[in-house]
């Protein structure tokens, strides 16, 4: 089955597409990972990127990231209408993923979460370290939540979470 039939890409397929920054860069700073592979008419990511790291050659062209320029501001995570942009980094052996969040309950620092991968399978537990509500006027109102996990490899897999009671 092709990814478009299943509704998800595997990590290997995304690696082939060059979605992930090199590991040594991820160990240095927070970087954006854009899992937007189709040609659809959309450009908020490139419009909000203040460092010019996200480049769209045309309205319908998939975005290309210049990781050297990315400052990890998370604005694109809030702005992506398709919820396809994430931030990833590795610090002191822990993996971190920043994700957009539009569900209930409201995220709070220290909340334990169940980590979900692209298929919706539970792959472990993590902790919310930095929930922020981002908005620019009426545009891009959304929670942007960073979750910490023990296994840095998991940060390549985790794309959603469920807050545990």
Partner 1 sequence: MIAIEDWRIYEHPILKFDRGKEVTIYLDGKPLKAYKNETVAAALYANGIREFSKSIKYRRPRGFFCAIGRCSACMMEVDGVPNVRTCVTLVRDGMRIKRQRTIADWAAPFLGMMKLPPLRYMKLFTRPGFIYEPAMKIMRKFTGLGSYPEKVPEVAPSGGYQGELSTEFLIVGGGPAGMSAAVEAGQQGVDTLIIDDKEKLGGQLLKQTHMFFSDVKYAAGKRGFKLGEELVEKISKLDNVKVMTQTSAVGYYPSENTMLLKGPNDTTLKVKAKKYLISTGAYERSLVFENNDLPGVYGAGGVQTLLNVYGVKPGNRGILLGTGNVALIVSYHLLQAGIEVAGVFAPSFRRVRGYFVHAAKIKRHGVPIVTRHTIVKALGKNRVEGAIVTKLADYGKPIPGTERRVDCDFICVGVGLNPAYDLVQLFNPKMVYVGALGGMVPIRDRTYRFAENAYIAGDCASIEEATTAVLEGKLVGLYASQALGHGDETVPEKIEEYTRALEEDRGSPFSTRLREALRDITVEKIEEALK
Interface with partner 1 (CB under 8 A): 2-9, 35-44, 47-48, 58-60, 79, 81-84, 102-104, 106, 116-121, 138-142, 159-160
Cβ-based nearer residue to partner 1, 103 or 109: 103
Q: How open is the CA angle 66-28-48, to the nearest 5 degrees?
A: 40
Residue 157 CB, nearest approach to partner 1 (Å): 10
Residue 93 CB, nearest approach to partner 1 (Å): 25
Cβ-based nearer residue to partner 1, 31 or 48: 48
Cβ-based nearer residue to partner 1, 10 or 25: 10
Cβ-based nearer residue to partner 1, 50 or 93: 50
Could you give the count of Cα atoms lying within 13 Å of 87 in the half-sphere of its Cβ?
Answer: 23
The residue behind tokens 């920043």 is: 98
Residue 127 CB, nearest approach to partner 1 (Å): 19
Cis amide linkage into residue 40, ω under 30° from 0: no
Cβ-based nearer residue to partner 1, 26 or 158: 158
Residue 119 CB, nearest approach to partner 1 (Å): 6
Residue 62 CB, nearest approach to partner 1 (Å): 10
Give me the sign of the Cα torsion angle 131, 154, 96, 15. Answer: negative
The set of residues, in sequence order, having a beta carbon less than 8 Å from that of 15 and lying 6+ positions away, is: none
The set of residues, in sequence order, having a beta carbon less than 8 Å from that of 102 and lying 6+ positions away, is: 83, 142, 143
Neighbouring CB atoms inside 10 A of 2's CB total: 7
């Amino acid at each position: 089955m092709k990814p478009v039939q299943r509704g998800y890409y595997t990590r290997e397929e995304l690696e082939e597409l060059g979605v992930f920054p090199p590991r040594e860069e991820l160990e240095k700073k927070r970087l954006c990972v854009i899992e937007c592979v189709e040609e659809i008419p959309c450009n908020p990511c490139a419009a909000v990127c203040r460092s010019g790291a996200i480049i769209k050659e045309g309205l319908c062209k998939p975005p290309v990231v210049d990781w050297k320029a990315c400052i990890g501001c998370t604005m694109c995570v809030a702005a992506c209408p398709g919820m396809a942009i994430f931030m990833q980094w590795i610090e002191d052996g822990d993996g971190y993923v920043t994700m957009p969040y539009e569900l209930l309950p409201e995220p709070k620092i220290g909340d334990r979460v169940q980590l979900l991968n692209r298929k919706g399978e539970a792959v472990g537990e993590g902790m919310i370290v930095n929930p922020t509500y981002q908005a620019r006027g009426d545009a891009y109102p959304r929670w942007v939540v960073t979750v910490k996990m023990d296994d840095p490899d998991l940060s390549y897999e985790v794309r959603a979470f469920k807050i545990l009671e």
